[in-house]
Each structure stands twice: as C-alpha cells, then as structure tokens.
Structure 1
Amino acid sequence: MHRPVAEKGFSLVEVVITIVIIGVALTAAIAGWGNIARHSSDVMWQTRVSYLGQAYLEEILSRRYDELTPAGGSPLCDPCTAEGSFGPDGSETRETFDDVDDYHGLTENAVGLFNSLVTAGGIQSYNGYQVSVQVQYAGDSYFSASNHELVKQIVVTVTPPQNTGQNPVQFSALRGNY
C-alpha cells in the first residue's frame, strides 16, 4: 500500500497574509517611533520656559511694591501709583528698575535676563525665547474694591522659539503692599 507523503511548508496564501500582517505592524510601529522622536525635545523646551518664567517672577517680586513705597515696605503708599502710569519711571532702564510696576510692558528676548553672561559668551540656548510682562492691580475677583490697590498681579508670558511647536506659557503672581 502506498501512503501519501505529508506536505511540509507554507502555501502561497499563507505567505501573502503573513507579509500583509507584518507590513501593517511595521507601519504602525514606525509611525509611533516617528511621533516619539518628533516630541522628544518637548521636555527640554518646557523646562526652559518654566525656568525663564520663574526667574523673571523672582526678579520682579524682589523689587519694592511701588515707587512711593520705601524699601522696607512700610508705610503703605497712599495714594499708590495709578495703573495708567505703570512702566519705567523717567529714564529708568531694565537694569535700574526698582519697583514692580516698572516691568509693565517689558517685552524682550529672554537673554536680557542673562545680559552679564551673554556678553561673556554664555546662555545662547535661550536665544529665540520672548518674554513679556504685564502688571495690574488685582481686581475685585481677588479682594474687595476698597483693598484692590494693595495687591498687584504680575503676568509673565514666555514664548518659545517658533520652530519648537510649543505654545506661549503664562506665569502669574501677586505682590502685596507690605
């Protein structure tokens, strides 16, 4: 009696189906890796934005409350500078700002924070970052209308370079008259 020989191997249909499944899986994997690679530097951009926002707020908050407030903060200014008069006083420059509202309207390339280091050849990695500052009295949403001039709201907006794909980030703080 003659027994049929068992066939070994794959049929053409099985090979084609395997190739299609592997092709779809590789396409999905490569697309995922591309997305990961495209966003791998996001953490670096976000860290720089956070650092700049914090550095500007710290610098501004270290200044006295108002031009009319003494360095120790007491007595309270009465009356305080009118909000329409916010900005540098007279011939003040960024280096000579002495109170919080001097920073109102400041817009600069972020390396302005590091002027002494930039002239020495450092901090070039912050080129392209723009920083703008707005100062206003905190509105009635924070305090009663009679106390609104006791607190200023500082908003620092940091805009990363255009080629990063990141959005501007706002940092906000309140500065009391104490």
Structure 2
Amino acid sequence: MLTPTKKNQSGVSLIELIVFIVVVSIALLVLVGIYRQATINNADPIIRMRALESAQSLLDEIISLRYDEATPTGGVPACSTVGAIACNNLPDDNMNDVDDYHNFSDTPYPNYVRSVSVTTANNIKLITVSVTTPTSETFLLSAERANF
C-alpha cells in the first residue's frame, strides 16, 4: 500500500494578495494624480505663448517708430541736439512716435489685456509692454529706444 505523500503547494497566500492589491492601488493613485495635474495645466503653454507673442509684436511695432514727434525722418539730427528741434516727449493721438503709446491699452485676444508704459530718462525711453492672461498671469517685455 502506498502512503499519501505531502505535496508542496505553489500559489499565493491571502496576505500576499492583499499586500499586492494595496501596493498597486497606491501606485495607481499617484499616477492618476500626475495625469490629472497634467490635464489641468495642458493649456498653460498655449496661453503663455499667445501672451508673449502679442507683447513682442506690439513692442516691435513701437520700437520701429520715431523717438519723438520732433525727430526727423531717418533720425538725423536727433531732437534736442545742437542745431536740432527740441524734443517734446508728449504723447498725442497720431501713434507715429514712441511717446504716443504711453498708457495705451487694448485686448488682442478675448480675456487678454495688453498695456504700454513709456518713461524717459537721459534721452532714453523705456518701453514696457505688459500682457495679463485669462489665468491672471502678467508678462512684461521691455526695450529701450535711444535718441539718434
């Protein structure tokens, strides 16, 4: 007669199975949280790029204009130099020189606000363009325009 032998069983115990489920659940929660954050901030680069592009385009437009209303075409001689007309440094509504854009504001896209500030010191005009996005971020671009 044969005696029954004890067989080695292979498999997973209940405790091992519960530990596995807990570890996988924690890892899944972390991954879902990261995915959720990435989805929420998905449009941010587009919003930022649009703001920077609109600020840069207006800054380029302003920089290409004359230093002052009294500056002749070509910029020579510069206003307020010997033998030249005095600079007036006053904004008017012609939009044909840098000063005219002081306190200018518009909305290049819906919910975007773009504004300009022009300050003068030592015959150099600092032009600052700021754009506020729909997410309330503000981007500033500045450039200096010299009297030449």
Answering whether residue 74 of structure 2 is matched by residue 72 of structure 1, we say yes
Which residue does 1:6 correspond to in 2? 8
Answering whether residue 142 of structure 2 is matched by residue 172 of structure 1, we say yes
Note the residue ranges of structure 1 that are not aligned, 5 or more in a row. Answer: 111-125, 139-147
RMSD over aligned Cα atoms:
1.5
Q: Any idea what SS the aligned residue of 2:35 has?
A: helix
Note the residue ranges of structure 2 that are not aligned, 5 or more in a row. Answer: 81-85
* Mapped partners of 2:111, 2:137: distance in 1: 13
What do residues 114-168 of structure 1 show as CA deviations (whole Å, max 9, x unaligned)? xxxxxxxxxxxx2211101000124xxxxxxxxx12x11100001111xxx3510
Which residue does 2:106 correspond to in 1? 108
What is the identity, as a one-letter code, of the residue corresponding to 1:97?
A: M
* Mapped partners of 2:144, 2:77: distance in 1: 19
The Cα of 1:42 is off from its aligned counterpart by: 1.6
Select 2:45's aligned residue among 43, 46, 52: 43
What do residues 87-124 of structure 1 show as CA deviations (whole Å, max 9, x unaligned)? 3x2xx2xxx301001000111112xxxxxxxxxxxxxx
Which residue does 1:81 correspond to in 2? 88
Which residue does 1:130 correspond to in 2? 113
What is the identity, as a one-letter code, of the residue corresponding to 2:103?
A: G
The Cα of 1:71 is off from its aligned counterpart by: 2.0
Count the aligned residue pairs. Answer: 141
TM-score (norm 1): 0.74
* Mapped partners of 1:174, 1:47: distance in 2: 23
Aligned counterparts, 1:154-169, within 5 A:
154-161=127-134, 165=135, 167-169=137-139
Determine which structure has the larger helix proportion and give its number. Answer: 1
Q: Could you say which structure has the larger radius of gyration?
A: 2
Q: Any idea what SS the aligned residue of 1:172 has?
A: strand
The Cα of 1:2 is off from its aligned counterpart by: 2.9
